[in-house]
Amino acid sequence: MKILVVLTYYRPHVSGLTIYAERLAGALVERGHQVTVLTSQYDRRLPRDETTAGGVRVVRAPVAMRVSKGVIMPTFGPLATRLTRQQDVIHLHLPQFDAPGLALRGRLMRKPVVLTYHCDLQLPPGPFNRLVNGVVLVNNWIAGRLANVVVAYTQDYAIHSHFLAPLRGKVQVIPPPVTLAPARPGAVEAFAEKWGLDGAAGPVIGLAARLAAEKGVEVLLGALPRILAEFPNARVLFAQPPALGEKEYERRLQPLFQEYADHWTSLGSVDQDEMAPFYRNCDVTVLPSLNSTESFGLVQIEGMMCGAPCVASNLPGVRQPVLMTGMGEIAPVGDAGGLAEAILKVLRNKPRYLRPPQVIAEAFSPAETARRYEGLFSRLTGGPAAAPDGADPYLRLRQQCGQNSDRGSRC
């Protein structure tokens, strides 16, 4: 099967969306499919057309100008038309400004169109950003109605999303692909030594997120006084990939970073082969996101696979990894005191929150995600899969982790 994947940013740009797309594309290639990614050449040093080591072809359209976090690409349309003709299925990742044009091309050329909706778009406050938010919302709405199927991470997010709820008849839930390179021998200890953790008396709190307004970094900073009152030597390790368009937010937080410099260590962008040592040095990870721009949080699963429970915001979708596994606590959104209490609850009794890592890894393996997409694509193209996989994709995970199978539906 020939699959065209379209998204605004692709690797080496780092975000949950780009990581998802890269993992799924690689897993589909491993299953014998031809995958082409159409994306932006957001960095002029990146090649226009290349085939990755994993066998995925990546075609990048040059960027003429930027609009907030979006890009204008004059040659994108002709590239999309040419590539759509060559494919069997069009797979779009939203939010994406160009989605309606791609979805319409698919319809006109009789190519099935699948959308994966990752999250809502909410740019920082301001009249221009409100306009951009509105335009993208309309574009997503048009694309959603042209698409054959819309994929969501969880039913919880689909029910509460302003975009997904009206499309409920088209929504299919597929778990996201999560994988993590195992720590090399001695890597965990080397990481601890590098960042001064060896022999540390206090617990380590991990945060893996872009320094972006929607990630709630200031909420964790606000929780530190309460945490330090009980654990004076607690440390926060902040794995921080680059963020576009967030300089003002970073400047606003600088005084707090300086105030807690003895307890807050910014690691910068952490290489993929160092993420497992990072998580394994954490006593707990935190996902204090503030709004629906976060729909799940792949980093929660990565940490759980390494034995680190998570404290996550009580947001639709975001709360689901903890609810499914019991491996952590849920904290009120934007509430520093509530976040502190949830973190302390885990730190006081970490063993009760641990679950078998292999059970979690199997539920979110890229191979399992690719298998479900493959069945969906095959059904849409008239292949051997006669019907969608209607079973709850998370049921087995809940059962193996001792959670009630309907617990998440009551949120």
- Identify the weakest region by mean pLDDT among 163-167, 281-285, 290-294, 403-407: 403-407
Do 210 and 62 lie in one domain? The reply is no
Do 85 and 145 lie in one domain? The reply is yes
Q: Would you state the structure tokens that stand for residue 297, as one six-digit string?
A: 């949080």
Question: For the whole model, what pTM was predicted?
Answer: 0.87
Residue 403 domain-assigned? Answer: no
**Between these two residues, 355 and 213, which has the higher pLDDT value?**
355
Do 76 and 208 lie in one domain? The reply is no
Angle between helices 217-230 and 336-348 (to 10 degrees): 50
Do 303 and 202 lie in one domain? The reply is yes
Q: What's the pLDDT score for residue 272?
A: 87
Do 327 and 376 lie in one domain? The reply is no
Do 67 and 202 lie in one domain? The reply is no
**Between these two residues, 339 and 387, which has the higher pLDDT value?**
339
Domain closes at, from 310, 343, 358: 358
Residue 400 domain-assigned? Answer: no
Q: Is the pLDDT of residue 134 over 90?
A: no
Residue 144 domain-assigned? Answer: yes
Domain closes at, from 329, 358, 387: 358
Q: Would you call 342 helix, strand, or coil by DSSP?
A: helix
391-406: pLDDT as tens digits? 789 999 999 998 864 4
- For residue 108, what is the domain's CATH number? 3.40.50.2000
Do 170 and 200 lie in one domain? The reply is no
Do 173 and 195 lie in one domain? The reply is no
Q: What's the pLDDT score for residue 247?
A: 81
Q: What's the pLDDT score for residue 387?
A: 46
Range(s) of the domain holding residue 148: 2-177+365-395
If one counts the domains in the chain, the total is 2
Do 84 and 67 lie in one domain? The reply is yes
Residue 406 domain-assigned? Answer: no
Q: Would you state the structure tokens that stand for residue 38, as one six-digit string?
A: 């159409």
Task: Report the alpha-carbon distance of residue 224 to residue 227 in Å, rounded.
Answer: 5
pLDDT class of 370 with cuts at 50, 70, 90:
very high
Do 127 and 267 lie in one domain? The reply is no
Q: Is the pLDDT of residue 411 over 60?
A: no
Residue 411 domain-assigned? Answer: no
What is the average per-residue pLDDT within 32-55? 96
Render 349-399 in DSSP notation, one character per residue: TGGGG---HHHHHHHT-HHHHHHHHHHHHHHHTT-S--S---S-TTHHHHH
What is the average per-residue pLDDT within 355-378? 95
Alpha carbon distances (Å) from 94 to 120, 341, 407: 8, 35, 28
Render 209-231 in DSSP notation, one character per residue: --S-GGG-HHHHHHHHHHHHHH-
Residue 286 domain-assigned? Answer: yes
Residue 405 domain-assigned? Answer: no
Do 240 and 279 lie in one domain? The reply is yes
Residue 146 domain-assigned? Answer: yes
58-117: pLDDT as tens digits? 999 999 998 767 789 999 999 999 999 999 999 999 988 889 999 999 999 999 999 999
Do 17 and 161 lie in one domain? The reply is yes
